[in-house]
Structure formats: C-alpha cells, structure tokens
Amino acid sequence: DTEGTGILCEAQLHGMFKKLGKNLSRQQLREVMKEVDFNGNGEVEFEELCVLEIKMCRMRPRADLIDHREYLDEGTARRLEALFVQQDPFGRGSIGLTELHRIIEIMGCKVPQEEVEEVRAEVDKDDIGEIEFDKLCAFWAVLTKQRKRINYREFLAAEQVASFRRMFEMFDTRGERGICRSELDQLFRQSGLALKKQQLNALLRDFDADGSGDIDFEEFCVMMLRLKGLRRRRCINPETADCLDLWREENFSIRELQHSGFGLDDFRKVGIPVGKIYAEGKVSALELRRAGYTPAELR
C-alpha cells in the first residue's frame, strides 16, 4: 500500500502475490477478487485481503482457538449437551473416542474419517482420547463448518433493521421467511446492485449458515452489513444493555434478544408474552417450566 490509502488495486495485489510465490495470472486474480470485491471497484481493503487469503488457501478455523459460543446456536448446543450427558453416564466430565463417534453418527454428520481425526487432534492435543464438553462443542463447530455468528444489531441502527425487514418481506414471495437465489438476485437488482452469477453464488455459500438453500432474515442482515462494509457501533449484552429497552424501544425480536445473551429469566422479568417466546425462541415447554412459567401461563 505505497500510497497509504488503506486499499490495494489489482496491480498492487498482483505484485504482492508474486513476491509471496503465488503466480496468479491477471485473469485468475480478477476471478478471486470477485469473491470479496462486491462493490466492483477493483480494490481490496485489508480485511477483504485476509478473507481472500483464507479463500485461496481454503483455510478453516482451528478448533482449539475458537469460542464455540460464537459459532453454535442455542439449539445445537443444547442437543450436544444432552448427547454428552447421555454418553457420560458416570459423570466423569469427558467422553472417549467411541462415544465421540457415536455422537457424530446420532447427529447425522457424514464427514471423512481423516477430517474427523484432524479436528479431534486440535481439541485433544495430548492425544489422551478424552474430550470435555466445551471441546466437543468447538470440535463440532469446526467439523460442521459453522460460520461465526454475528449480532447484526451491534452494527445496524433500529431504523436500518426495520428497512431491511421491509425489503426482505417484499421479496419473500413464498411467505416462508426465507428468500431463494432468484429472489435475492431480484432484490439486489432493484437496489441497484447487479451481481454476477459467481458473486451471487459466493454470497449464498458464505451466508446461508444453516445450509437450507435459502437466506433467512438474520442471514440477510449479516450479508447486507458485510456488503456495505459497516463497522460495529456498540456492544450488546446483559452487562451493557437493558432487555426491556431493547424489547420496547428498539423492537428486538426474541431471537435477537437471545443472540444478545438474554434468556428466559430476562424475558419473564420483562413480561414478554410466553406464546411469543415459545413461537419465536425455539424453546421447549419443559425449558419454560424450568424458568418458572406456570402450567396456566403455558396454556
């Protein structure tokens, strides 16, 4: 970055990669740049360069370096916990390799054995053949290629979220709370952002976190903040924000409150209707009972 602009053009990237021993043709470089240069200006910022390097090297997160809570949703974590307890009947606090493979099978994960072993070695550095629960979760996040979860509410103002929701619902023609590839293409074109087929496919690969083939609203918001290059405006968690204010003043959904670290105890104190929690929060009636809701309230 000889001019100190904070960006690299195609020629500068080409020279840099050449010095690093990566002999890409200009055409090959343009193709990989399209993966991160969504605004089409032919320039790449440092963060985009890091993403580009990750894509080119096909790198993945290391299981021993991540916080699984930043990757796994509550439902997946709860299911893993239930299976862990089931496979650890004597309460040792760890499971062996046989139990680990049994959990993989029960969860329906079909991954080559060498890949399983590679990720397992990262969480079992001493190769003792025992894995604790937190390490199981980190193992699972990497093995199933979970994307790091981003709280888009920390990047977007309430007005922006409302605007994105209106836009999303306008193109959710099937009413399934998700937009498919063709609907996403129409949305971008109407917004003045005509993406090439390769760019659109790359977006779907990167942001369809649950692998459904559709983009839900949460995935859409993360996609938009990435495309717009937005920076985090604030940190939202129970220590920095009030659940009642987020619910009433900023119209946070149940899922958004959960992603911000609030739970059933907070919802009960705030007075959020139990029907709404049950419908949107992906919680069971048993969990609601444990949180103190009475049978009458659940009815």
Tens digits of residue pLDDT in 100-149: 999 999 999 988 999 999 999 999 999 999 999 999 999 999 999 887 88
- The pLDDT tens digits for 4-48 are 888 888 888 888 888 888 888 888 888 777 767 655 677 888 888
Domain borders along the chain are 8-57, 68-144, 158-231, 243-291
Instruction: Report the C-alpha gap between 101 and 119 in whole angstroms.
Output: 13
Give the mean model confidence (pLDDT) for residues 261-284.
87
Predicted local distance difference test score (pLDDT) of residue 291:
81
Q: Average pLDDT over the chain, rounded to whole?
A: 87
Among candidates 260, 290, 293, which has minimal Cα distance to 276?
293
Whole-prediction pTM: 0.65
Class of domain 158-231: mainly alpha
Out of 56-65, 150-159, 254-263, 290-299, least confident range: 290-299
CATH number of 68-144: 1.10.238.10
Nearest Cα to Cα of residue 263 among 285, 245, 237: 237
In this predicted structure, what is the pLDDT of residue 37? 67
Give yes or no for residue 204 having a pLDDT over 90. no
Q: CB count, 10 Å around CB of 277?
A: 21
CA 190, 196, 198, 203 dihedral sign is negative
Whether 87 contacts 97, CB under 8 Å: no
Q: Are 215 and 181 in contact (CB under 8 A)?
A: no
What pLDDT digit, counting tens, does each position of 49-101 carry? 887 787 777 788 999 999 998 888 777 888 999 999 999 999 999 999 999 99
CB 226 within 8 A of CB 48: no
Q: Give me the mean pLDDT over the 253-279 stretch.
A: 89
Topology of the domain covering 8-57? Recoverin; domain 1 (1.10.238)
Same fold, 8-57 and 158-231: yes
